[in-house]
Structure 1
Amino acid sequence: MKVMSPELSPITPLLAPLATLPGIGPRYDGLLRKVAGGNRVMDLLFTLPSSYVDRRTIMTLREAREQLMPGATLTARLRVLDIVQPSRARQPFRIRATDDTDEVEILFFHQAFVRSVAPGDELAVSGKLERYGLSLTMPHPDYMVNWLRHDTIPAIDPVWPLTAGLFPSVMRRAMHKALDLLPPMPEWIPTEALARHDWPPFHEALEILHRPKVEPDRHWSRLALMARERLAFDECLADQLSLALARQEARILSGRALKGDGTLREAALDRFGHVMTGAQNRALAEIDADMAAPVPMMRLLQGDVGAGKTLVALMAMLRAVEAGAQAALMAPTEILASQHYETLSRHSGVPCVYLSGSVKGKARALALKAIADGTARLVIGTHALFQEAVVFHDLGLAVIDEQHRFGVQQRAMLGGKGYCTDILVMTATPIPRTLLLTQWGDLSVSRLDQKPPGRKPIQTSLHPLSTLNEVIGGIRRIVERGAQVFWVCPLVEESEVLDVAAAEARWADLSQRLTTPVGLAHGRQEISQRQAELDRFRLGETRLLVATTVIEVGVDIPNASVMVIEHAERFGLAQLHQLRGRVGRGAAASFCLLIYDDGATGATGKERLALLRETEDGFIIAERDFRLRGGGDLTGNRQSGLPLFRLTEGVDAESLLNEAHRETKAITYKLSESCKMGTELQALLRIFDRDDPNRINRAG
């Protein structure tokens, strides 16, 4: 439970549930929580407008007819001529009005809106102007008030994101009630930075964006940009500071040193049969140093496709075993987990256990017993490892593969299975420095930027969709000569059902065109069926495998030498790079064909695809893609906006994050001298819900 210090009591109303806002009853509480993405008043205030309607200019109807496009917003001073009642049900009430330059019909479907209006009334009206033939109409205007109250129409009108059942008027009322609770905040940004950026105070920034007031001597759009920048920087600063404090706290936690004599490692390397690369040795030395220290390790191992992360992970796990502890490896899918189990059980030389959702009955009971009594030295599995029934005898090291696919809470649950467990998280998706900061702060990072000897380069080529038949003809010829081919079907509107339909349709098409059997693997198959398809392909019983992105990670079939990716423009670059990495693992020359829709792929899209043709270096691809598309979810096709952040849209997030990182270093240096955090920084962390360092440490 968090205890509020007396100095922070003014912000208490901002941390209260949305239901505490006056006038927000049960009817709207749930809808507001849905839009706000949380239950605090502050969460609502952080729901920034998606756009604004400018109602400052009052135009005549003649000017509007000449200058405005249909659907544009008009604000006008009008006189009511008459009110036409509907002649039958479901027809609108019509208010005929004029400003002596032209006439307009204002349409309402509910009588309540016209009861207070009479012929001759002078009105201020603002809404979307439409044209039907030569007639001007305004269906259900946003505002219609007596002209004497025209100043009650907002000059700059925020448009907030809504959900079904939540009306703009309710959202506006709730937002204004929340703004009324804002106290003047203690300033956490240095005076010099505020002056340099011309940023307003925190509470003023929220007022500017949610309740704009037009100042004649200042340009409102610049004010709004400065306000957005200010809030985005605050969010970045809170994030970086919370990460830094968590790491600082972790360094003072008492852990245990895990040291070994190297015998298990040496034997495992002999079984692997190849020499570790310089990058692997360097990463392992960094991991060894962390594990030997008397504080819990939290390290990220990021390596390019095929750089040998599994071998490094095995060496780290064997060190834990040599020290007398257990080690666990958790993977996001059964395909990847079972492949890890096959590799580790074959090469480790110690008892291994596999646990996933598909392990049932007696096999599951035996696995749980071996984990609990310590018989199992290495434990490999899926998210089933963090279930309550799984009790480790002595978990010394938790390795989490493809960490982006697990939530913070899931990582925390696995790390909490042991006492001061060392945590090593791995990703095959190289992460640009800026995005590393958002997720990890100053977390120790090891990079595998060197591939094992013998890996063949992959020749990548681009093919417009109009050449699909020629591509299929070429694939048919090489398959008949003995080659094995992956054919990855396109993402369809982020829908697994539609993805599968596309894959099944392509499978049926290729099955007719090819003379050899064609396999099919997708995420809606039973795990056993999908694994059987992969095994048939691995054994060469099928020469071509049509698949969705279930083969993105963890599928290792050395004989496959060709990767075809259909509608490549729909995938993220990092995902394309991952898919391409499924080939080039054997002795044969390897190829990747990217088929794209020329009509749906703009200049930037073609530039992105051309980057894959230019380089196989995942680190270069990740950095360039970040520049081209602005970061985001590196692992898939959602690549806009920094992860974890909600206030960085529309600003230079990368620059603000780097500045926040520098400021955090200055803050933590001062804290190391004074050992006391000021009220202003406490308020910042509370407001952004980043004041629990243990939540971060538990998750690694």
Structure 2
Amino acid sequence: MSGRPEALFPLFGAVETLDGIGPKTAQILEKAGVTKPRDILMTLPHNAIDRSKRQSVADVTPPVTVTVVVTVEAHYPPRAKGRPYRVAVRDAATQFQLVFFHARGDYLKKQLPEGGRRVVSGKVESFDGVFQMVHPDYMLLEEKIDTIPTFEPVYPLHAGITQKAMWKATRSALAMAPELAEWADPTLLARQGWPAWREALAQLHAPEDAGGLSLTHPARQRLAYDELLAHQMTLALARRKARRRAGRASQGTGRLTQAVIKALPYAPTGAQTRAFAEIAADLADEFRMNRLLQGDVGAGKTLVALVALLTVVEAGGQGVMMAPTEILARQHYDGLAPLAAEAGVRIELLTGRDKGRERAEKLAALAAGDIHILVGTHAVFQDDVHFADLRLAIIDEQHRFGVAQRMALGAKGQAVDVLVMTATPIPRSLALAQYGDMDVTVLDEKPPGRTPVKTALVSKGRMEEVVSHLQKAIADGRQAYWVCPLVEESEVVEMTAAEERFKRLRAALGEGVVGLVHGQMPPAEKDAAMARFVAGETKVLVATTVIEVGVNVPNASIMVIEHAENFGLAQLHQLRGRVGRGSDASTCLLMYEAPLSETEQRRLEILRETEDGFKIAEEDLSMRGAGDMIGTAQSGLPRFRIADIERQPDLMRIAQTDARAFLEKDPDLASPRGQAMRLLLWLMEQDKAIQLIGVG
């Protein structure tokens, strides 16, 4: 696709080409990511000031902004240094004062001659019963009243930029915005009553009332949709290209996978069996696989991953599984190794810890094809890591890996198939934003033998009751976790709280019954304390959130979470997932400190109502927002300027359907609407998409 269309040149020029923006302002704007007229257009007002004309300041209750016509009566220069300059004026009903600090008298006399009529607009306040307007925003000749916007937009500002500069800049950016051919589906526009792109911008930068600022305003929905459509178009193009990219057909024989499934103590769930089939079909196909495997706590993703890896080993290839941290990589390795042994397959772990000869030996075995499955951290991206025949890459916890890293991994082997796994149930709108280029498999059943967990809310005042409940349970041979309060800022405070709780429970329940783990312990001590609990030597494990991920103790059937109101929904859901792994009925007690805020109450009630991780994630999204939910810095989430995926999830869905359907009809974007679609991609800076369309 040659270059940026000429119609868009002005919008992609320097931001200084706009009125009101000099080199200094341009520098400040650049820090906020605003470098060209297009970015100014995409910065929408978030508030507005009503500047409609009033008869008199007497008609309002200060403090409030008023626009009024006045006659200048008298000037009162300051009597002493540092005092304000005052000008007495009269409107249709009353006298009031205009107040100026550090003002030049000659300038004010020229602007506001005694006896002259002027229109002034600014904030009116009352001091000792006298109305004052300090530094009016506007002082104009009466006939220029039309140049004051009736409903003036207020822009999100960065230090050192005035509203006036933003107002001027947005007006001149609007003047540069061309009329563009329509890329949206005409039936959608008609159904939603949306204006054309340029008209939508004009409406939003000059709102007529408060409705013009709301998310539901047709013009705002239109622009949000454009942003999401460009994003989904990019993902759809990437998906199409990946699907067309020649892969390697890896046809499994079933020899190894059957051996492992036979050795399992239980039969796979229906969801797992479905996942095996979908993945096997993708692997056997000559196109590349690009699939997301989403599963809730304990839905059995490890088995699905292993079956996929063994399938490519059966076909004569190698597989790699990657995790974001060394702990998780080791955990995967520990989980996979015994099963791989059943199949007689060689599996190894490669992390940053491997050095010198040991590392060299692993790399040689990998290059020779002697290692069938490699588990590691992103250390497997390094240039000296060569595979004999890499067919499948499995990435765990994808939101730590961006799309670019996915591609780098794909380059490691000849047409590598990619499977991404996530244990965090992701709401649909977020999944579309992050993984719209992938096919999705959801594990929505729990393996047999997992019992539902009964969740109850208890106030901290009932601590004694909870402890006696624990005594009974321990006497019945059961085990429990006791999670201590989360302290945001300080692990030391967390540790002290945990040690305190440990001493109290030990006093109540007896020596040798209670164990302790927290983040400040040396790893060996932590592992030893965990091992004693796993072996059933200790009955209660007092812990900070270090147990959130990956501990499997089927006999533990009670989870007490202290100060549950301080935890996030997803975290509480993950913690609760540590119990209910055996055949005993399990309970989770959410202990809270009364009174609860409305949000805290809602959070805890959601957990009581449902164990469905996806439902919980949807609620979490609407309560917290996308960036918080997955940690914006490493989320790989696109940053939208106008669209709000928490509050406009439906638009994301429509955009995905439209993008995929349009590409089916016009894969080369050659039709008139396809050409308009290219304009949209350039406008929204979807450079990746433009490369994907290739030369057109």
TM-score (norm. length: structure 2): 0.84
Shift of the alpha carbon at 1:380? 1.8
- Tell me which residue corresponds to 1:303: 295
| 1:449-496 deviations in Å (ceiling 9; x for gaps) | 22111112211112345656765776688679873314153474xxxx
What residue identity is the alignment partner of 1:47?
Answer: T
- Taking a change above 3 Å as real, the CA distance of residues 194 and 453 of structure 1, as seen in their structure-2 partners, is closer
| 1:599-650 deviations in Å (ceiling 9; x for gaps) | 4532x65345323223323244445666x65973695599xxx975442349
1:250 and 2:247 are equivalent in the alignment: no
Structure 2 Cα separation of the partners of residues 223 and 619 of structure 1: 25
1:183 and 2:153 are equivalent in the alignment: no
Question: 5 Å matches for 1:275-314?
Answer: 275-314=267-306
| 1:118-139 deviations in Å (ceiling 9; x for gaps) | 5635443333333445344444
Shift of the alpha carbon at 1:378? 1.9
Give the conservation status (yes or no) of the 8 Å contact 1:371–1:392.
Answer: yes
1:504 and 2:503 are equivalent in the alignment: no
Structure 1 Cα separation of the partners of residues 96 and 170 of structure 2: 33
Give the conservation status (yes or no) of the 8 Å contact 1:431–1:634.
Answer: no
SS of alignment partner, residue 152 of structure 2: strand
- Tell me which residue corresponds to 1:353: 348
What residue identity is the alignment partner of 1:682?
Answer: R
SS of alignment partner, residue 52 of structure 2: coil
Aligned CA RMSD, in angstroms, stands at 3.9
- Taking a change above 3 Å as real, the CA distance of residues 376 and 168 of structure 1, as seen in their structure-2 partners, is farther
Question: 5 Å matches for 1:600-615?
Answer: 600-602=596-598, 606-615=601-610
Structure 2 Cα separation of the partners of residues 401 and 672 of structure 1: 32
- Tell me which residue corresponds to 1:616: 611
Question: 5 Å matches for 1:181-220?
Answer: 181-212=176-207, 214=208
SS of alignment partner, residue 420 of structure 2: strand
Give the conservation status (yes or no) of the 8 Å contact 1:489–1:502.
Answer: no
- Tell me which residue corresponds to 2:589: 593
Shift of the alpha carbon at 1:409? 2.6
- Taking a change above 3 Å as real, the CA distance of residues 187 and 545 of structure 1, as seen in their structure-2 partners, is same
Structure 2 Cα separation of the partners of residues 234 and 372 of structure 1: 47
- Tell me which residue corresponds to 1:495: none
Moved more, 304-313 or 76-85: 76-85
Question: 5 Å matches for 1:559-638?
Answer: 559-569=555-565, 571-596=567-592, 599-602=595-598, 606-622=601-617, 629=623, 632=626, 635=629
Shift of the alpha carbon at 1:427? 1.8
- Taking a change above 3 Å as real, the CA distance of residues 223 and 305 of structure 1, as seen in their structure-2 partners, is closer
Question: 5 Å matches for 1:337-486?
Answer: 337-349=329-341, 350-359=345-354, 363-441=358-436, 443-464=438-459, 483-486=479-482
What residue identity is the alignment partner of 1:10?
Answer: A
Structure 2 Cα separation of the partners of residues 527 and 43 of structure 1: 49
1:513 and 2:507 are equivalent in the alignment: no
Shift of the alpha carbon at 1:360? 5.0
- Tell me which residue corresponds to 1:47: 43
Moved more, 339-348 or 223-232: 223-232
Give the conservation status (yes or no) of the 8 Å contact 1:503–1:546.
Answer: no
SS of alignment partner, residue 129 of structure 1: strand
Which of 227, 250, 262 is residue 219 of structure 2 equivalent to? Answer: 227
Structure 1 Cα separation of the partners of residues 356 and 90 of structure 2: 80
Give the conservation status (yes or no) of the 8 Å contact 1:205–1:231.
Answer: yes
Give the conservation status (yes or no) of the 8 Å contact 2:271–2:443.
Answer: yes
- Taking a change above 3 Å as real, the CA distance of residues 519 and 673 of structure 1, as seen in their structure-2 partners, is same
Structure 2 Cα separation of the partners of residues 646 and 174 of structure 1: 18
- Taking a change above 3 Å as real, the CA distance of residues 637 and 379 of structure 1, as seen in their structure-2 partners, is closer
Structure 1 Cα separation of the partners of residues 239 and 251 of structure 2: 23
Give the conservation status (yes or no) of the 8 Å contact 1:124–1:147.
Answer: yes
What residue identity is the alignment partner of 1:283?
Answer: A
SS of alignment partner, residue 485 of structure 1: strand
TM-score (norm. length: structure 1): 0.83
- Taking a change above 3 Å as real, the CA distance of residues 513 and 200 of structure 1, as seen in their structure-2 partners, is same
Moved more, 107-116 or 573-582: 107-116
Structure 1 Cα separation of the partners of residues 184 and 347 of structure 2: 52
Structure 1 Cα separation of the partners of residues 400 and 317 of structure 2: 26
| 1:503-547 deviations in Å (ceiling 9; x for gaps) | 23532442442326663434x888778767755655656943432
Give the conservation status (yes or no) of the 8 Å contact 1:301–1:427.
Answer: yes
Structure 2 Cα separation of the partners of residues 13 and 484 of structure 1: 66
What residue identity is the alignment partner of 2:285?
Answer: A
- Tell me which residue corresponds to 1:115: 107
Give the conservation status (yes or no) of the 8 Å contact 1:435–1:631.
Answer: no
Give the conservation status (yes or no) of the 8 Å contact 1:491–1:571.
Answer: no
Give the conservation status (yes or no) of the 8 Å contact 2:669–2:677.
Answer: no
1:656 and 2:647 are equivalent in the alignment: no
Give the conservation status (yes or no) of the 8 Å contact 1:438–1:644.
Answer: no
Structure 1 Cα separation of the partners of residues 24 and 138 of structure 2: 24
Shift of the alpha carbon at 1:659? 3.1
Give the conservation status (yes or no) of the 8 Å contact 1:62–1:102.
Answer: yes
Give the conservation status (yes or no) of the 8 Å contact 1:14–1:40.
Answer: yes
Shift of the alpha carbon at 1:196? 3.0
Shift of the alpha carbon at 1:300? 1.3
Structure 2 Cα separation of the partners of residues 471 and 79 of structure 1: 76
- Tell me which residue corresponds to 2:28: 31
Structure 2 Cα separation of the partners of residues 395 and 588 of structure 1: 43
Structure 2 Cα separation of the partners of residues 559 and 112 of structure 1: 82
Structure 1 Cα separation of the partners of residues 387 and 97 of structure 2: 75
Give the conservation status (yes or no) of the 8 Å contact 2:669–2:678.
Answer: no
What residue identity is the alignment partner of 1:293?
Answer: D
What residue identity is the alignment partner of 1:632?
Answer: A
